[in-house]
């Protein structure tokens, strides 16, 4: 097994999260959601609080956006906006059930005084489908984000966008099929992608960590990396071992309640990427 040449280092991150105060599953917009199954909102809050504490303990900043009643999926903050170099591209949701989340994020960024806030013409579910890897955005399409949104993202964010097509409805967002581990490294589940997108991934990331179905279906790829620590569902044990072999420190998290809505660690975590001081 190959060992990394240099020791990995964590860099402090700025995250935006939303407490699952109004979390519930009362509609189904992905194959994981079953409105007939009971949801324990208090447990969801407890598990989410534990993740937030973990981020703080690891030196990260966590800002909070106010949860809105009647928006049970708003805990999935990754879907609210994509931020690169302090430029904010607000989401536009595919389903009417989530549409009102976009203005809530728009309001938050406006109040914080971000000067460049773009509202979207085409459907894009933000970091659900846009994974920032260094200075590149990998952009998913197939289920949620409109392929025409990819050019719009490139214009708004000012970095190149690479389109990838998802083919398995269980992996309806890119962030459940692929994760950024560092500015140059990714991990992904090949079964989620169209053949031509796999060719693109192999070309760009020949050394990517390939994740098997057992780890992908417990949302192992819905992970957040700070360059060293990788926060991921604790049930993705095979993937944790792969990450360790590559010099990362996997940190297992239990978000079992949020899983009932088809989301886990990365879905709850929007990253605010600032313009590097020069
Ligand atoms: N129930 C939500 C939906 O289907 C889950 C969103 C998960 N978020 C994510 N970034 N994958 O839209």
Residue 271's SS3 state is strand
Between the CA of 19 and the centroid of ligand 1 the distance, in Å, is: 15
Per-residue model confidence (pLDDT) at position 5: 54
Q: Write down all domains in the chain, each with its CATH number in brackets.
A: 14-271 (3.75.10.10)
pLDDT grade, residue 3 (50/70/90)? Answer: low
Banded model confidence at residue 72, pLDDT cuts 50, 70, 90: very high
Which active-site residues does the annotation give? 173, 267
With the most atoms of ligand 1 within 8 angstroms of its CB, the residue from 31, 128, 138 to mutate is 128
Distance 261 CA to ligand 1 centre (A): 7
User: How high is the pLDDT of residue 2?
Assistant: 54
Q: How many CA atoms lie within 13 A of 34 on its CB side?
A: 7
Ligand 1 centroid – CA 247 distance (Å): 29
**8 Å CB contact between 140 and 108:** no
pLDDT band at 277 (very low <50, low <70, confident <90, very high): confident
* Predicted pLDDT of residue 216: 98
Ligand 1 pocket test: which of 29, 267, 268 has the largest number of ligand atoms within 8 Å of its C-beta?
267
């Amino acid at each position: 097994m190959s060992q990394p040449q240099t020791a990995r280092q964590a860099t402090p991150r700025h995250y935006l999260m939303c407490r699952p105060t109004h979390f519930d599953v009362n509609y189904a917009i992905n194959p994981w959601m079953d409105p007939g199954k009971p949801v324990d909102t208090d447990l969801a809050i407890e598990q989410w609080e534990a993740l937030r504490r973990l981020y703080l303990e690891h030196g990260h900043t966590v800002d909070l956006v106010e949860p809105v009643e009647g928006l049970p999926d708003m805990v999935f903050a990754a879907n609210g906006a994509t931020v690169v170099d302090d430029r904010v591209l607000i989401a536009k949701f595919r389903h009417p059930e989530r549409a009102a989340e976009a203005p809530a994020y728009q309001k938050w960024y406006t109040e914080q005084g971000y000067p460049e806030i773009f509202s979207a013409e085409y459907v894009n579910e933000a970091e659900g489908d846009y994974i920032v890897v260094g200075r590149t955005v990998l952009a998913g399409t197939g289920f949620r984000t409109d392929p025409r949104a990819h050019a719009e993202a490139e214009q708004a964010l000012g970095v190149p966008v690479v389109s990838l097509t998802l083919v398995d409805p269980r992996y309806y967002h890119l962030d459940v099929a692929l994760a950024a581990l560092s500015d140059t490294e990714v991990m992904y589940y090949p079964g989620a992608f169209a053949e031509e997108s796999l060719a693109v991934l192999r070309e760009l990331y020949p050394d990517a960590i390939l994740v098997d179905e057992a780890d992908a279906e417990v949302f192992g790829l819905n992970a957040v990396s700070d360059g060293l620590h990788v926060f991921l569902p604790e049930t993705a044990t095979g993937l944790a071992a792969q990450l360790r072999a590559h010099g990362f420190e996997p940190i297992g998290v239990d978000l079992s309640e949020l899983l009932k809505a088809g989301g886990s660690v990365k879905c709850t975590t929007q990253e605010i990427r600032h313009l590097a001081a020069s």
